[in-house]
Chain A
Amino acid sequence: NAGVTQTPKFRVLKTGQSMTLLCAQDMNHEYMYWYRQDPGMGLRLIHYSVGEGTTAKGEVPDGYNVSRLKKQNFLLGLESAAPSQTSVYFCASSTTETQAFFGQGTRLTVV
């Protein structure tokens, strides 16, 4: 009964490096989301997807790219990491009938 699984859980990057965060859900949910959480800012939507092969920008999309090649996976990419992208990243999934279920988060530090 995995739900939403995020990998990795922790990562330290140097400025300018790239990386991909993976989100996998086993609930057959149509919609998937990537949020970042910063102190005092709550959760802010980066990108989201309403189905396989589709993506859309959220509130803070700059510096990130996403892909949804398979329904169960939603990838978040950082092409050239910056210190401002130090944050905790959360993936979530939902359907039209259910609320969003969240993963455990990925703590990313960019030095």
Chain B
Amino acid sequence: GQQLNQSPQSMFIQEGEDVSMNCTSSSIFNTWLWYKQDPGEGPVLLIALYKAGELTSNGRLTAQFGITRKDSFLNISASIPSDVGIYFCAGQISGTYKYIFGTGTRLKVLA
């Protein structure tokens, strides 16, 4: 099945550091989404991107919709312990109502 390539798979960082992760696809998407999942919970939306080249922020989080429409990036600045979790990208396939998810980036923040 189609999946997005998300990297890195996991990250261990010190509190206060910045974090970057990305997703790439061979397909064009018309929407990119970034979710965070805490243990035992469902994914919760962080940022939604709807136009190629769009750069959107949500507090310490910034995400970009790649100009080719085949990639997206998420940055977290000045990480804190509660940033721990799994971050997923998701793309909405053009012309459909289906969302395809990346394999996730597991983030651990060391105090």
A105 touches B42 (CB 8 A): yes
What's the nearest-Cβ distance from chain B to residue A64, in Å? 14
Q: Is the interface of B mostly helix, strand, loop or mixed?
A: strand
B44 touches A102 (CB 8 A): yes
Query: CB-CB < 8 A to A103: which residues of B?
Result: 42
Question: Which residue of B6, B45, B90 contacts A101 across the interface (Cβ within 8 Å)?
Answer: B45
Instruction: Please choose the segment from A14-22, A44-52, A69-77, A79-87 that sits at the chain B interface, where 4 or more of its residues have CB less than 8 A away.
Output: A44-52
Q: Is A94 an interface residue (CB 8 A)?
A: yes
- The CA-CA distance from A92 to B45 in the complex, in Å, is 12
Where the two chains meet, the residues of B that have a C-beta atom closer than 8 Å to any C-beta of A are: 1-4, 6, 31, 33, 35, 40-45, 48, 88, 90, 97-104
- The CA-CA distance from A62 to B40 in the complex, in Å, is 26
Q: 23 A-B contacts, Cβ less than 8 Å apart?
A: A41-B103, A42-B4, A42-B6, A42-B88, A42-B104, A43-B43, A43-B88, A43-B90, A44-B1, A44-B3, A44-B101, A45-B98, A48-B97, A48-B98, A58-B1, A60-B1, A92-B99, A94-B97, A100-B45, A102-B35, A102-B44, A104-B42, A105-B41
Q: What is the number of contacts between chain A and chain B, taking CB atoms within 8 Å?
A: 62
Total interface residues in chain A, CB < 8 Å:
26
Where the two chains meet, the residues of A that have a C-beta atom closer than 8 Å to any C-beta of B are: 4, 31, 33, 35, 40-45, 48, 50, 58-60, 90, 92, 94, 96, 99-105
